[in-house]
Structure 1
Amino acid sequence: MKKLLFSLLILFSFSGLKAQNLNEYKYIIIPESFEFSKEKNQHQLNSLLKFLFEREGFETLMNKESRPEDLQRDNCLGLDANVVEDSGLFTTRMRITLEDCHGNLIFTSEEGTSREKDYKTAWHESLRQAFESVEALNYNFEADAPPATPATPETAEVVEEAEVAAEVPQEEKTTPESPEKPEVVVQSEKIPEEKAPGILNFEKDGTYFQLQENENGYALFQKGMSEPFALLISSQEGGSFIYNSVTKQGIASFSENGDLVVEHFDASRGVSVKTTYTVKKD
């Protein structure tokens, strides 16, 4: 019993250390693919991880993107993110790890699990569950914080041995098409209604939208308006986009039938919200 209490005490003490350390880092660097992936950004897992970290207030970038000036001057402002999979026949298991510029392990999340059979659903569910460990730290970047104390191999082993997998998946806090504040749309001059090359037409709740391709990805217009209310910036992996509007940030992708699916975090309700724009085919 005493041994168990001692182990838990070490675990809780190290958890507090991890929370303090993460506040000392400004950037999270996301890889294009993970070791267990067969292709870049498979099932949009890398884009989802980037979205989740941005939701918590971190500044993120893909590992092949150009570095901001402060990160170029001091690459120790950033942490390298990774996802480790240890799946069995019926259960998908994932952990999130963060390493500093010296390769020291700074943070290891609790294990996220899923029993879903569909790979994409299982990966997303287990990653979201693992990310709850990051959410619990209440990250807040401290620019003047002293240098972080690297985790030693001994303390890292204590954490890995003490982590307990949650065998029953928790329900995702995703609420498709749930009521929310409407997207801010800038009213301006109308443009011609005819379809132009590189433009895709969509519909949502009786309102029509147009997606116009550009050199960085796409611009999303309410049909008839000359100014876009959102931009979809292509990720280097392809297949997914960073979604930026006046009021929302998130990720976007196209479904198999061509619908535009946007996911963002609604801070007022503490949930992730999916919005689907239905493609209008000729």
Structure 2
Amino acid sequence: MKKLIILAAMIFYGNIFSQDLNNYKYIIVPESYDILGKTNQYQLNALTKFLFEKNGFQTIMKTETWPEDLQQNPCLGLSPVLVEDSGLFVTKLHIELQDCKGMTVYKTREGRSKEKDFQAAYQESFRDAFQELADLQYEYKSNSGIAESVKESSETSSVKEVRNITSEAKDEVVPESESDVAHEVVAEEKIDLSVGSEVEGDLNSLENSRWVYVDAVFELRAYNSNYALYQLNAPEPIALLLKTNKPNEFVYRSLLNSGTVSYRKNLELEISYFDSKTNQQESLLLKSYN
């Protein structure tokens, strides 16, 4: 009898929010979580985007230009929020998915980690909590109720935020014709970088700027009001750097990977992303090439 009560409680907990996630088209990934504060701290935001996409969800960074249907109806999207209840020796958190009105429509079980390293602990507990979402086998199905909710949400803060986004990137796909060396800039070496490094600089100075990684030289060129990263003298870009509403931070998008880029005051580009082939977190540093 006791086991039945526990099982019933678990079922009730998992379904306490009755909205079907299949009715929502987008996951709107924030640049930072409130429990941490810094952009992509412990690379949880890049991990968020990676895991949702791996499990069939369509993601969009909060500071990217939103698709037209999401701009017209922010209620098509859900925003992940992390809630932490860590103790002295255990990192504990769960994921809540909130709708356009700030209401929680899904809440995962608590993920846990006993890792001592903060980054390892947060990532392990996040993955543990996320497993419940992975088990749902999400598949988007249009819902007329949510589709019509644009009438109720047209004056919400979500719409106001979309109007303030400065990026004008379009959904071009980066061609596959780059060289093997060019591929290495997004998959070769893992570099340990301090979190939250100070950034500054004039964005206009990035146009036609050159950068070096290992023995390869790269160039940033203007591309649809954003930037494209080319290997020097190559005809096609290997990645796009999409502007956000933060002047020194970009969304990184290559053919296989997506993540974030920070422009540092000492003329460095930090690229953080999850490699879709190896399922590993990567962090690279490009130095200014004089």
TM-score by length of 2: 0.62
Equivalent of 1:232, from 241, 250, 269?
241
Match of 1:184 in 2: 176
* Equivalent pair of 2:40/2:46 in contact (CA under 8 Å): yes
The superposition leaves residues 53-77 of structure 1 with CA deviations (integer Å, 9 ceiling, x where unpaired) of 2333323334455543323443332
* Structure 1, 79-88 or 31-40: larger mean CA deviation: 31-40
Task: Answer yes or no: is the 8 Å Cα contact 1:240–1:253 preserved in 2.
Answer: yes
Aligned twin of 1:201: 212
Matches of 2:27 and 2:239, distance apart in 1:
24
| Shift in alpha-carbon separation, 1:185–1:262, aligned structure 2, 3 A | farther
Residues 71 and 220 from structure 1, CA distance in 2 versus in 1: closer, same or farther, beyond 3 angstroms? closer
* CA deviation string 1:203-232 (max 9, x = no partner): 3xx7x2414264766422233313212213
Match of 1:52 in 2: 51
Give the alignment partner of residue 259 of structure 2, picking from 251, 257, 282.
251
Shift of 1:12: 3.9
Task: Tell me which residue corresponds to 2:133.
Answer: 134
Question: How far did residue 143 of structure 1 move?
Answer: 1.9
Q: Distance in 1 between matches of 2:132 and 2:47?
A: 16
Q: Are the aligned partners of 1:22 and 1:139 in contact in 2 as well (CA < 8 Å)?
A: yes
Q: CA deviation at 1:275?
A: 7.4
Superposed CA RMSD in Å reads 4.0
Letter in 1 for 2:212: N
Matched, 1:266 2:289: no
The 8 Å contact of residues 64 and 242 in structure 2, kept in 1 or not, is answered as: no
Cα separation, partners in 2 of 1:18 and 1:58, compared to 1, 3 Å: farther
Distance 1:255 1:219, change over 3 A: closer
Instruction: Please say if 1:120 is aligned against 2:129.
Output: no
Matching residue's letter, 1:29: I
Give distance in 1, aligned partners of 2:2 and 2:146: 32
Q: Per the alignment, in what secondary structure is the counterpart of residue 233 of structure 1? A: strand
CA deviation after TM superposition for structure 1 residue 32, in Å:
4.3
In structure 2, C-alpha distance between the alignment counterparts of 1:67 and 1:280, rounded to whole Å: 31
Alpha carbons of structure 1 residues 84 and 61: separation in structure 2 relative to 1, 3 Å: same
CA distance in 1, matches of 2:61, 2:21: 19
The one-character-per-residue Cα deviations of 1:73-119 (angstroms, maximum 9, x if unpaired) are 43332222201111222222221101233444221122222333333
Distance of 2:125 and 2:13 partners within structure 1: 23
1:42 alignment partner AA: Q
- Stretches of structure 1 lacking an aligned partner (at least 5 in a row): 149-182, 188-195
**Shift of residue 26 of structure 1?**
0.5
SS at match of 1:107: strand
